[in-house]
Amino acid sequence: MPIERTLSIIKPDATRRNLTGRVNAMLEAAGLRIIAQKRLHLTTAQAEAFYAVHAARPFYRDLVTFMTSGPVVAQVLEGENAVARNREAMGATDPAKAAPGTIRKELAESIEANSVHGSDSAENAAVEIAFFFAGIEITG
């Protein structure tokens, strides 16, 4: 299996509840290595740009408001099949539908305040990693 990298974000609902360490422990238990990490408070323009792909969706404005409501922790995760492995560790978008033991099932508040983001393809991972990190900040 290929060693991949993926972009993870611990969302404002999780940082507000002091769950950064718990999320990180679940990611590491899933076999993912946190090779870059920074805490930041997104501006509206930054959140709009990151979620531009969802601009036409009805929840877009609420999503941008939520993602700027507090600090986030952006991370680069590395491991075998990291994109799919992280999506599996996260669980379904809606925590009510997420499998037991997943981050969203255990920690998320709602379909919007669902604690974590993970890239959905290797192609998007490369774009999303470059959105948050310079190459010099990533140490594999």
* 44: Cβ contacts below 8 Å, ≥ 6 apart: 64, 68
- Is residue 109 a contact residue for ligand ATP (CB under 6 A)? no
Question: Least separation, in Å, of the C-beta of 29 and ligand ATP?
Answer: 19
Question: Least separation, in Å, of the C-beta of 139 and Mg ion?
Answer: 26
Q: How far, in Å, CA of 39 to CA of 18, rounded? A: 13
Which residue is at the shortest CB distance from Mg ion? 120
Among 28, 106, 109, 120, binds ligand ATP (CB under 6 A): 120
Binding-site partner at residue 115 among ligand ATP, Mg ion, none, CB < 5 to 8 Å by type: none
Compute CA distances 30 → 33, 73, 130, whole Å: 9, 18, 24
54 catalytic, yes or no? no
Residue 106 DSSP SS3: helix
- Would you state the structure tokens that stand for residue 71, as one six-digit string? 């600090």
Residue positions annotated with a catalytic role = 117
Positions touching Mg ion (CB under 5 A) are 120
